[in-house]
Each structure stands twice: as structure tokens, then as C-alpha cells.
Chain A
Amino acid sequence: MDVQYINPFIVAAQVVFKTMLGIDVGMGKPELKNTCVTSGEVTGIMGLAGDKKGTVAISFREKGAKYVYKTLIGDECETINQNVVDAVGEITNIISGQARKEFEKKGINLNAAIPMVIVGKQVEMNFITKLPIISLPFYFAINNGQPDEKEVIYIDFSFE
């Protein structure tokens, strides 16, 4: 897959987390996923269509999803409830919007639908395309940046 399809997601993740959550995210090493399963435990999925077609999935581990909800709204959440699911859906929507804006700068127009959220580990997903799925891990510090308190968000996508 062309590198020009990766950069819009990197920019989108960095802008959205910084503006909405005040979080600086650092990108880890991109990987190709061999299986069509969710990378984390709470995953927002959005189909994209237009000049290209594909799917983007934004996946949080449980701790990261609860931290993001707390940072966004100010309330603590003991479990992954409807509020956390809703927050992950909205973050997915906003990251997708920012990425589509970046794609538009490259002359690629994409439309999106309402995101869907899956809760569970290694849940099977359909990525529409037959091309490999690229997984971008983004790391961020929680609890005032203690070295052992890093969380990860995965942005997995495939386009053709």
C-alpha cells in the first residue's frame, strides 16, 4: 500500500488527541496484520467510500478507553459501559473526518458512514478490501506519564 494512505491517519490521530484530550501521541512501528480481528478491546469501525473504498478501525485497550472517556467528560468509569462505547464511536468519527480532510488535500475524496463500535478481544471484522491491513500503534502516557503507565491505540485500515 502507498505511504500516502498512511500519513492522513497519522496527522488525524495526532491532531484529534492533542486538541480534544490534550494528549501527545507517539507513533510506534507500523505493521501488517495477518488476521481480520480487532487489535484492542473497544473498537470503533468506519467504512469509507468514494474515490477509494476501505475500512478504518480505531481500537483501544480497556484501560485506554476508560482513560480517554475520563479525560473527555471528566467522569470515572469502572467498566466499559454505553458511555465509553459512545465516546469511542465519536473519537472514531472525528479521526475519520480529519483523515478524510487530509485525503482531500491529496485529491482523494472519501465519504463516511455512522461508526459502529465493537467491544471484545480479537473479534472478527470485515475490512471490505482484499489488500493487507496496516496497523499503526500510537502510544500515550496516562497518570502523569509514569514510565510504566503507557497506553496504546491502534489505527488499523485497508484501502483499495
Chain B
Amino acid sequence: MTKPRVAFFDFASCEGCQIEFTNHGDAVILELLNHLDIVEFREAMTETTNEPIDIAFIEGSFTRESDRVRLQAIRSRAKTVIAYGACAVTGGINALKNHQDDFAEEVYGEAAYMPHLRSGTARPISAAIKVDHEVRGCPVSKEELLLVISNLLHGTTYAVPTFPVCAQCKRRETVCRYEEGDHCMGQVARAGCGAPCPADGIPCEACRGFVDDANLGALEKVLVERAGFSQRRAVAKSRMFTANLRS
């Protein structure tokens, strides 16, 4: 059996999700290379390709028309396209800018008017091309990534968890952030990460986006009544990873 040809591409992102793949280390990656042929991956190799590929992992969000052209070119030569990481799946942290227009000088100072900074709305790559699978998270979970890859290799589909992070916190007996006087969005955030943040004492920021039918009204109520947020902050909390998912 010939090995599937795999390539990684990136758009507006920090490329941390690609680094997360390399964090598996030699033992895992060298074993995976018995099953995959990695033909383009700029975090780990210099070669690139214009040939057809079997699996394209695309990191980063779609922020300008030139991205659309490049995304369409990747789509046309890739059998399977995987939106890889929060930026590609939902627009991720880049989408913060979609709700404001006064950030450029604040962030870039004198360089704010450089032409390459003139990007548009940060969108998921699915706004430009058809996506076959999604690997969520900021960064992606490298363990979950292995499951996605092995399912692809076996011709099956990885069943993405659709329940909220709370269930994963409870399974590992993490003391709830609310019991510590803190806030959290684990009730509405998609799980699959294994809930590492609350276990480290950090509220869930919903980096994987929301579950379907997320009860945002109840979230606001809990943030006000239990975490002591103002109504305004409760509504805005947290746009960090969910700016494209709320009004």
C-alpha cells in the first residue's frame, strides 16, 4: 500500500498547532513516517510540493482575498482537507479584531499603516473552501491529532466529542473554578481537550468553540450570579476564541 501524501499549510496563525505535532518527538513521528509521507511541512522540512496530496492540514484563518486563491489551489489538489486548530476552524483568536476597528495603532504603533497589515475579516477556512474534518483547539491536542490521523489511515472517521468541557473536568475530579470563586466557560465549551486548563487552575476559554445549542443565556446568568461579573462583561465573556460565534 502506498503511503498517503500529507502536507501542512498555514494562513493567519502562530503556527503553534504545527509545532504541537512536532512535540510528539522522534519516537512517535518516526513511527508515523512508516505510515505517512510528509511532503510539505515548513516547521520541520525545507521541501515543498505542487503535486497532488492526499491529506492537507491547514492551519490559520482566512483573512484576505489572496488567501482564498491559495486555499482554493490547495483544495483542488487535496483529497482530504483538515481545518487544523482554532484559527482555521472558527477564526480563532484572530477574530477578536472583527468586533473592533481601533486596534491597529494600539498594536502596531507607527507601523499601523503598512500595507501588509491591511487584512479583512478573520474567518474560518470553511468560508472559502469545503472542509472535510476539523481538529479544534488552541493549540490542537496532539493526542487527539493522532486519533484523527489513525482514523484517516484506517478509512474511518474520528468521532469528535460534542459534549462540554465540564464533563471532562468532572471525570478527572478537578475542583470546579466556580467553587474557587473564579469563572469558567466549560459549560458551553466543546470538550476533547481533556480539560487541562481548569486542572491547572485556569478558566476554560472555549478555545474549541461552543457546543451545539450552547445555553449562552444561562452562561451569562451564572457569570453574573456566581462569578460576580457585570452583565456587560458576562455578555462579552469571552470573545477570546469565540468572537465569530456570538453576536
Do the two chains belong together in a single complex? no
Residues of B at the A interface (CB closer than 8 Å) are none
Residues of A at the B interface (CB closer than 8 Å) are none
